[in-house]
Amino acid sequence: MKYLSLSFLFICNSLSFSAAAEGGSAITGTVWTDKKPYNGLFDAGEQVVPGILVKLLNASNGQVVSTALSQSDGGFSLPTKTDGNFIIEYVFPSEGFSVALKRQGNDNSINSAANTSGYSDLITISAGAPADRYGLGLVAKENTITYCTMKTPTVTTWKEDLLLPKSSVAAVPVGVKIFAAESVWHPSIGIENLGTQDAYDISVQGIMSMELPRGAFLKINSDVPRSGILPAYDGVQDYAGTSGRTWLDEFSYASSRYEYPPFLIDNTFYGEGNLAIPTEAKSGVTIVGSGNQQTVVQTHVSAGACVVYTYEEGALPVKLVSFSARREQGQVQLDWQTAEETNSSHFIIERSSNGKDFSPIGRVKAAGESSVRNMYSYSDLSATAGSNFYRLKMVDLDETYAYSRIVVVKLDSRAASLYPNPAIDEVSVADAGDSSVTKVQFFNPGSQLVLESSQNQNINVSGIPAGTYLVRTVRSDGTVNVNRLVIAR
């Protein structure tokens, strides 16, 4: 098989964050990966990217107005305190991505906003009106696999393991790089002078430390400095008045990279499992002035991490153009396309309920030898209520393989139950949904449909051999539930 492509997995925290600055507006957007044919548009089925650092700059002096990391849905929000002209700067792991084509239309919600240097066009906000969305399309570089994750803004101090998957490609990567970023939000920074008039010099920090695999370590620190003179104490410790000062919605940022030397690249980075990156976030305050100055500070730190695996030319599997999943009539429809295949054997479809522990649910034969686009599909009839995560295992004739990115579909979680269970001759469905049941389907362990009924009460199952079955209840609104039924005789 000629290996030319790359695959992605983005592990995301489910929380989202948006800071609203008083008296201003916000510029929003989404970070995603542009798929071939590259068009710079955020099309349906394209994967979002978390953990990318986004900065809002004052266009007149380049000063940072606000910062954010793209969240689990790829979205970000950059608040502004005043009207004016702004520019967005995007900071991402350039070892694994380049910037997609710059937007070509007027709809900023789907057009990539940045040039090749990672800066947007001029953005004008007037009269506090919300700005259009300004997203970023990223293009995966050849011969690389990039995995990203993030943690939402959380009040410090916090500790958490950020998990990035090991590479599942049989070949050993020739390069491994870790990209780390933090976005720090201080809702308020206050200082009060309780003595005589004195100058002050204060720096408020967001500090993030990461313990990387193989004994490496990354520490990044961003700060908000402020200085001036405070008059003598006015008798009220309110961090305001004549002797105090408070700043609201202050932001800072930092990013860093670590590249592993070739002799440290071993099975720590490939095979099954994850790279666990213990991460700790703290806040800090440094004051230069009299001992009578006191501060009150709130600090939220958001952390992002990406790992980029680089391979020699020809080391990656089938050239996968796209992979998507969608809900259709209560089941999940998977579609994917390849642009080139050599010695490819088959695809194994794997499913997970948590995005980490996958099991095979189906197999599709590959084209084997092809230089044209091939389209594949698979219908998952046994998807369960809640989130269903899918990935493709692309297998070569010599049994080498690699995984695609993960896609997720969420099915309706309204309950349906079976009774009696175990059943002997009849079974009924008790449905908690608002829509009527249109059909009830029974599948054997081989996923073969063995019985279908348009009724949900007193279904005759006497003709089905004893065993365990998946029962799929479909409602008129297209939602579905899947339950296990034991038939015992």
Judged on CB neighbours under 10 Å (0-12, 13-18, 19+), 86 is buried
pLDDT value at position 1? 36
Question: Would you say domain 319-411 falls under CATH 3.20.20.70?
Answer: no
Instruction: Give the tens place of pLDDT for each residue, 135-190.
Output: 888 988 888 889 999 999 999 999 999 999 888 776 789 999 999 999 999 999 99
Parse the chain into domains and list their residue ranges: 8-310, 319-411, 416-487
CA dist 104 and 254 (Å) reads: 31
Distance of alpha carbon 250 from alpha carbon 206, whole angstroms: 11
Q: Which residue has the tokens 């990656």?
A: 316
Q: Which CATH architecture has domain 416-487?
A: Sandwich (2.60)
Reduce the DSSP state of residue 89 to 3 states and report it: strand
Residue with tokens 């992605």: 8
Tens place of pLDDT per residue across the chain (489 aa): 333 333 333 333 323 333 334 446 788 888 988 876 678 888 877 788 999 999 999 999 999 999 999 998 898 999 888 888 999 999 999 999 999 887 666 666 677 888 888 998 888 887 766 566 788 889 888 888 899 999 999 999 999 999 998 887 767 899 999 999 999 999 999 999 999 999 999 999 999 999 999 999 999 999 999 999 999 999 999 999 999 999 999 999 999 999 999 999 998 998 878 999 999 999 999 988 778 899 999 999 999 999 999 988 766 666 777 888 887 766 788 999 887 776 788 999 999 988 888 999 999 998 877 767 788 999 888 887 778 899 998 887 767 677 788 888 887 656 678 889 899 999 998 875 556 788 898 988 777 889 999 888 899 999 999 988 888 888 877 677 778 889 987
Could you tell me what percent of the chain has a pLDDT over 70?
A: 88
Q: Are 486 and 471 contacting, i.e. CB atoms less than 8 angstroms apart? A: no
C-alpha span between 486 and 224 (Å, rounded): 63
Tens-place pLDDT, residues 195-236: 999 999 999 999 999 999 999 999 999 999 999 999 999 999
Tell me the sheet residues that pair with 435. Answer: none
Mean of the per-residue pLDDT values of the chain = 84
Which distant-in-sequence residues (6+ apart) come within 8 Å of 193 by Cβ?
200, 230, 231, 232, 233, 243, 244, 289, 290, 292, 293
198: tokens are 């004195």
Q: Do residues 330 and 472 touch, judged by C-beta distance below 8 A?
A: yes
Nearest C-alpha neighbor of 176 from the set 272, 278, 98, 257: 257
Residues 6 or more apart in contact with residue 152 via CB below 8 angstroms: 13, 15, 16, 17, 71, 72, 302
Residues near 424 by beta carbon (within 8 Å), at least 6 away in sequence: 462, 487, 488, 489
User: What is the reported pLDDT for 433?
Assistant: 56
The pLDDT score that the predictor gives to residue 357 is 87
Return d(Cα 427, Cα 250) in angstroms, integer.
62
Instruction: Determine if the pTM surpasses 0.85.
Output: no
CATH architecture of residue range(s) 8-310: Sandwich (2.60)
Burial class (CB in 10 A: 0-12, 13-18, 19+), 352: middle
